[in-house]
Structure formats: structure tokens, C-alpha cells
Amino acid sequence: MRKSEEMSNSLTFPDLKPCPFCGEKAYLIVKDGVRVKCGSCGASTEVRVDNWYGKKPCGNATLSVIESWNRRENYREESDGIN
């Protein structure tokens, strides 16, 4: 019998809080690592890199940036135009 592999792929992450600067919705950005970025003003957390499973990040980098965002730590307020 094979165990279901879907369970391990359906990690649940905390909901992202709205941007503290403008109150708009924030998104998880996966690009050379993971970070949380506001969809409106561009405020973001620092980029964290963790292990990768195929094309998806795994480990705790994703959870880490979400928690940083929600705790309002490590923000970078910028408009660097990278994205």
C-alpha cells in the first residue's frame, strides 16, 4: 500500500495580513527564494531561500517570510522595480 503523498504537499500556511503601509493585499512571491510582497506599494520582506522540491520551495523559508510579514519584521520599503 502506498501512503497518500498529497498530504505532505498540502502544507497550510498562515494567512497573510494586509500590508502595514497601505492596507492592500500581500502576496507570496517565489523568485530566487521566497518573500512576501505587497501588491500595491511594493513593500516586502527580505528574501529567504530554503530547500527546493522540484520547482516548489519547501522547508521553512516560506513559513518564515510569512511569519516575518505578519509580525511586521524585516520589511524593506522600496520601489526597486525588480518585479
Least separation in angstroms between residue 6's CB and Zn ion is: 34
C-alpha closest to that of 45 among 18, 72, 24:
72
Nearer to Zn ion, 40 or 60 (CB): 40
Q: Burial, 73: exposed, middle or buried (Cβ in 10 Å; 0-12, 13-18, 19+)?
A: exposed
Nearer to Zn ion, 4 or 79 (CB): 79
Contact set for Zn ion, span 19-78 (CB under 5 A): 19, 21-22, 24, 38, 40-41, 43
Nearer to Zn ion, 41 or 63 (CB): 41
List, in sequence order, every residue forming a beta bridge with 26; answer none if it has no partner.
38
Query: For 26, which DSSP code?
Result: E
Give the interface with Zn ion as residue ranges (CB under 5 A): 19, 21-22, 24, 38, 40-41, 43
